[in-house]
Copies of this chain bind each other. A is one copy, B any other.
Amino acid sequence: MRNLLTGASAACLLAFGAGAARADEGMWTFDNFPAAAVKATYGVSIDQAWLGHVQANAVRLSTGCSASIVSGQGLVLTNHHCVADCAQDLSTATSDHLKTGFLTDSREEERTCPGMQAEVLLSIKDVTDPVRQAAAGKTGADFIKARNAAIADIEKSNCADKEAVRTCQVVNLYQDGQYKLYTFKKYADVRLVFAPELQTAFFGGDPDNFNFPRYDLDMSFVRLYEGGKPVATPGRMVWNPAPPKDGEPTFVAGNPGSTCRLLTADQLDFLRDVSFPMTLTQLAELRGRLIEFGKRGPEQQRVASHELFGIENSYKVYVGQLQALSEPGFLAGKRQADAELKAKVAADPALAARIGDPWEAIAKVQAERASLYAPYMLLEGRAGFYSPLYGYAVDLVRAAQERAKPNAERLPEYAQARLPLLEKEVLDVKPIDQALNQLQIEFWLLKVREVLTADAPQTQGLLGKDSPETIAARLSASSLADPAVRKALWDGGLPAVQASKDPLIQYVLATDAAARAARKTYEEKVAGPTGQAAQKIAAARFAVYGDRIYPDATFSPRLSYGKVAGWTYRGQTIPATTVFKGLWARATGQDPFALAPRWTAAQGKLKDDTVFDFVTTNDIIGGNSGSPVLNAKGEVIGAAFDGNIHSLGGAFAYDGAINRTVVTSTAGATEALLQVYGRTALVDELLAGSTKSGAKR
């Protein structure tokens, strides 16, 4: 299923890495980690064994998160908000795991998370040449198509006959500057082991999101299974329950989702003036609808609340990013940086001849982009506005159509290598709230009519003589909420899809041509020309800065370095750590500052001065959620779960003075697991064979 929360990702698809990185800056690939800089700054030696150990235990979750293997029995540490979808899917009107938590006393009680897949990176191989050659000389949509076809071929051939246990992915780095084949070990059966209450994991709620000081146990555990049994993972990372020390070096291994650090200033203008205002206002309105929907009753509150979390989280990210772009002098500085790189290129005639003026080419694209962006986003990029049933329908219709084509001819998300996960996502059992789904489709069609206008052919194609309200009500009678119906359509392929009487399938069959057309036009006029120009800028950057640069984030495995440290802003200094005592002080008894009953009961048993959350200077971004925070020995001392408010500008630039990673510490977590949740067996598993330094039993 298409992840519709990755608007930032789409917006910044064409970003690439900055000039030579400063201290603590960068989301580095495992094959280009700046060990010398780390040695110089922190005196820590990072060798291949260290890197190999970390890479082998760093996990990517298909739900858009990061994680780590922390026991010999396949136990995986991640954030609560990374398994909140799962906890929601495993809940019912009478059993709400977001409210009460999810606790297991035996392996038998561990339950598979719908749609979740875990991956561990096995190897990296450079495939830049064949991909480049396939697209050489092509322009516009042909450039995109040829590149994607080459990638699809490499992914398919390298994982042939191993799809059940391997994922092959060509990762685009430095904006078409490099292509590397990442091969992952794949785990398709991931089961929920432990999740605290949402109000514990997300204490402070949206008001405290991206803030610090913080008092969140945003930590959960899942377990990898194969053949119905836990996977043996003897090489696991060590869980070290000692508290962090101010200034101690830290490393974060994870999958940062998307940064836009070196878009040209013209591209950033576009984000500020066109993309962000449209996205923010739509998220805000949908947020209002979800809040009010939740007031219909407790069950509506339950089903809407998790959806709302995602919307509010995205909303706050965009607000922070827009503020960063609007900061006086910021865009002028970006324009200056563009000019400096151009000047360095111009000073070298041979380089200048090879590079040309891709900055101007990108500038020219922006005007066209301003008029094509809305139809592209509304018909394709954000079509359905998070409606799960609409998402199923599009995937079922398109997968049926695309699977009938040769691999190289398909839309890339339906290429052979991508189908196993897609099939899992479409077929796994998940509860669907029909009324909420209706709200989402109605909202989508209302925005189509509002933004594109009632007279636009695209609007008329989607609405005919009907209103958004009428169509949404009609489509919500879809039977796609039934997994058996989805399976029949998936297995039956195009004939089954075309014969389906389901209103949503019929609707997508009737309207999908317009969505594909909007996408093709956007690729032809925007993505293609931009990709070609960005390739040139990337080449200029390699020529000028060599390998002292890191690629922009693309939700692929990365490693960052930094240290435990607070920060000072406008004269106010924020310490690096919080302790349990602060939680008691901040609890008002009212949502979102209310303690879960287990915590109120356990208050006397927890030590007031135990470190709960802390911050580090590591350079991370959304997608890093759940990443292990490691000490110099490579031991886990926390799970990264957020950035501070200043980190949101990190989409465009890293500022080591104020940009901070927010972490739930193993110290606080270990104590809470024992004293609040009574998870003796779980803690025993975590500490088995560890140094036990600092263990609190």
List residues of chain A with CB under 8 Å of any chain B CB: 204, 206-208, 211, 273-274, 276-277, 280-282, 284-293, 296, 315, 319, 322, 326, 328, 367, 439, 449-450, 453-454, 465-467, 469-470, 588-593
6 contacts between A and B (CB under 8 A): A276-B277, A288-B288, A291-B292, A292-B292, A466-B588, A470-B590
Q: Which 10 A-B pairs have the closest CB atoms?
A: A288-B288, A292-B292, A273-B326, A284-B284, A285-B288, A288-B289, A467-B590, A284-B285, A281-B284, A465-B588
Bound together, the chains give a CA A204 to CA B288 distance in angstroms of: 24
Interchain CA distance A280-B315 in the complex, whole Å: 13
Closest residue of chain B to A570 (Cβ to Cβ) is B371
Residues of B within 8 A of A277 (CB): 276-277, 280, 319, 322, 326
In the bound complex, residues from chain B placing their C-beta under 8 Å from that of A466 are: 588, 590
CB neighbours of A281 from chain B (8 A): 280-281, 284, 315, 319
A479 to B286: give the CA distance in the assembly, Å.
33
A591 cross-chain contacts in B, Cβ below 8 A: 467, 469
Inter-chain contact A292/B288, CB cutoff 8 Å: yes
Known interface pairs A285-B287, A288-B288; 14 further A-B residue pairs with C-beta atoms within 8 A, sorted by A's residue number: A211-B454, A277-B277, A280-B281, A281-B281, A281-B315, A284-B284, A285-B285, A289-B292, A292-B292, A328-B367, A465-B589, A466-B590, A467-B592, A467-B593
Cβ contacts under 8 Å, A276 to chain B: 277
Question: Smallest CB–CB gap between A516 and chain B, Å?
Answer: 25
Chain B positions within 8 Å of A315 at CB level: 281
Distance A285 CA – B290 CA, assembled complex (angstroms): 10
Residues of B within 8 A of A204 (CB): 454
Q: Which residues of B lie under 8 Å from residue A291 when comparing CB positions? A: 288-289, 292
| Most B Cβ at <10 Å: residue of A286, A287, A290, A467 | A467
- CB neighbours of A280 from chain B (8 A): 277, 280-281, 284
Q: Who on chain B is nearest to A645 by CB?
A: B453
A319–B467 alpha-carbon span in the complex (Å): 23
CA distance A106 to B680 in the complex (A): 84
**A550 shortest CB reach to chain B, Å:** 30
Contacts of A287 in B (CB 8 A): 285, 288
Of all chain B residues, the one with the shortest Cβ separation from A322 is B277
Q: In whole angstroms, how far apart are the Cα atoms of A533 and B453 in the complex? A: 42
**Chain B nearest Cβ from A599, distance in angstroms:** 17
Q: Are A450 and B288 in contact, with the CB atoms below 8 A?
A: no
Known A280-B277, A282-B284, A591-B467; judge A449-B207 contact (CB<8 A).
yes
CA distance A206 to B453 in the complex (A): 10
Q: How far is the CA of A672 from the CA of B412 in the complex (A)?
A: 57
Residue of B nearest to A439 (CB): B292
A319 to B326, CA, bound (A): 18
Q: Give the residues in chain B near A465, CB-CB below 8 Å.
A: 588-590
Measured CA separation A277–B454 after assembly (Å): 25
Complex CA–CA separation, A319 to B208 (angstroms): 29
Interchain CB contact under 8 A, B289 and A326: no
- Rounded to whole angstroms, the CA-CA distance of A340 and B242 in the bound complex is 66
Cα A286 to Cα B287 in complex, Å, equals 9
Cα distance A284–B287 in the bound complex, in angstroms: 9
Give chain B nearest CB distance to A594 CB in angstroms. 9
Give A280's nearest chain B residue, CB to CB: B281
Chain B residue nearest to A286 (CB atoms) is B288
A208 adjacent to B454 (CB under 8 Å):
yes
Kindly state the separation between the CA atoms of A439 and B591 in the bound complex, as whole angstroms: 17
Cβ distance A663 to chain B, nearest Cβ, rounded Å: 20
Alpha-carbon gap, A208 to B449, bound state (A): 10
Shortest beta-carbon distance, A457 to chain B, in Å? 13
- Chain B residues in 8 Å Cβ range of A211: 453-454
- Cα distance, A340 to B439, chains bound together (Å): 52
CB A443 to nearest CB in B, in angstroms, measures 8
Q: Cβ of A288 and Cβ of B284 under 8 Å apart?
A: yes
